[in-house]
Amino acid sequence: MAFRTLDDLNVKGKRVLVRADLNVPVAAGKVTDATRIQRQAPTIRELAQAGARVIVLSHFDRPKGKVVPSMSLKVLQAPLSDAVGRKIAFAEDCIGPKAEAAVAALKDGDVLLLENTRFHKGEEENDSAMAKQLAALGDIFVNDAFSAAHRAHASTEGVARLLPNAAGRSMQAELTHLQKALGNPERPLLAVVGGAKVSTKIELLENLVTRVETLVIGGAMANTFLAAEGYNVGKSLYEPDHLETARKVIHMANDSGAVILLPVDVVAAKEFRPGAPHRTVPVAAIGADEMALDVGPKTSQAFINRLAVTRTLVWNGPFGAFETAPFDTGTVAAARAVAAATRAGHLLSVAGGGDTVAALAHSGVENDFSYVSTAGGAFLEWLEGKELPGVEALKA
């Protein structure tokens, strides 16, 4: 996929609009996970150092077209400034007179953060008047927000069509790794799909099963597959309405020659709470009053054996209820095995999606994968094989 990068731009003295994704978790006025800020700071710093007048755009939360003071981006001004290592000015609007005045005051190398783009209805409507107002603030548009690229909004898609554009360093890294992992991977390719529900990942499963050699199903969605195969899953979380979906994915695997790895043993408990009494049982022996809350050691071993013959891995979703010990064991074992294979140099590993990053962090290996995407929804849509409007608009 061809797109321009910062290497293709001459930015000195130019007004460069940078679409960042500063939609980070904030509690009591403090950023609780600064990963996205850290990933996007290099683009802003590089542009400022090259003498651009940098104007940062982002949404924050979901104010739905109204000014919601608790969703002001003002709270990100200091953390962003710390991450970039430069003073950053703030404008109380992202378009109109306040934004225009703040942009006019910039000197070469200055950085300005504009207020939440979603305070205007036109943002999510991808309104052309709003896109024009945004475009009027800059000479060049740089999109560094892969995690917002699944949204066709004025600040992600509309404005990109109106100005010379390029991918920022974070966007470039995301696209390069995702391309290596699923676009043109070294094979065999394995995908881990975990999490609670088949129903939220139907398109993802149907796309991946046609593209991988191995599809590993974990989390409560594995219970739906087990039920579809005729196992009694007791009180386990599963989706009776999606047995057909699971069967369809199994049929698709038979047609494409993909191997589906389902749990062969599980950690089962009668209650779901930290430290609940539990036992490891084959999937055929889940009690009527038990819930499967994690995969068992035989399943973990089967996964590890498969890793040894895998060259590329894509991971979305945990294997078990990893937030609640001891039901994190399967996820931790798998994550550590992937990290070890990656460190040993025989595996390219790419992970993404909200819960997934938390699961890797919990396993202490978030820095040992080849790449961990900062995207949630955009990563899922990309796994579904969908075009992302924010990325499409950058294609050279």
Report how far residue 294's alpha carbon sits from residue 334's, in angstroms, rounded to the nearest whole number.
Answer: 12
Strands (E), the chain: 15-19, 26-27, 30-31, 53-57, 89-91, 111-114, 140-143, 165-167, 189-193, 214-217, 259-261, 265-269, 278-282, 291-295, 312-316, 348-351, 371-372
Q: Is residue 23 close enough to count as binding ligand 3PG by CB under 6 A?
A: yes
Q: Which of 4, 377, 385, 386 is catalytic?
A: 377
Residue span binding ligand 3PG (CB under 6 A) among the ranges 147-155, 181-189, 203-211, 279-287: 147-155
Q: Which of 15, 36, 118, 201 is catalytic?
A: 36
Which amino acid, one-letter code, is at 135?
A
Report how far residue 164's alpha carbon sits from residue 75's, in angstroms, rounded to the nearest whole number.
Answer: 30
Report how far residue 18's alpha carbon sits from residue 113's, in angstroms, rounded to the nearest whole number.
Answer: 10
- Of 148 and 181, which CB lies nearer to ligand 3PG in the complex structure? 148
Residue 294: strand pairing partners: 267
Minimum separation from the CB atom of position 21 to ligand 3PG (A): 5
The answer to whether 354 is a known catalytic residue is yes
Q: Which of 5, 6, 14, 21 binds ligand 3PG (CB under 6 A)?
A: 21
Report how far residue 370's alpha carbon sits from residue 174's, in angstroms, rounded to the nearest whole number.
Answer: 11
Minimum separation from the CB atom of position 247 to ligand 3PG (A): 31
Minimum separation from the CB atom of position 131 to ligand 3PG (A): 17
Q: Which of 148, 182, 292, 359 binds ligand 3PG (CB under 6 A)?
A: 148
Here the tokens at position 24 are 């980070």
Which amino acid, one-letter code, is at 142?
V
> Per-residue x/- mask for ligand 3PG, residues 183 to 222, rule CB under 6 A?
----------------------------------------
Residues from 33 through 62 that contact ligand 3PG (CB under 6 A): 62
Q: Which of 151, 169, 177, 278 binds ligand 3PG (CB under 6 A)?
A: 151
Here the tokens at position 235 are 């009180």
Q: Which residues bind ligand 3PG (CB under 6 A)?
A: 21, 23, 62, 147-148, 151, 376-377
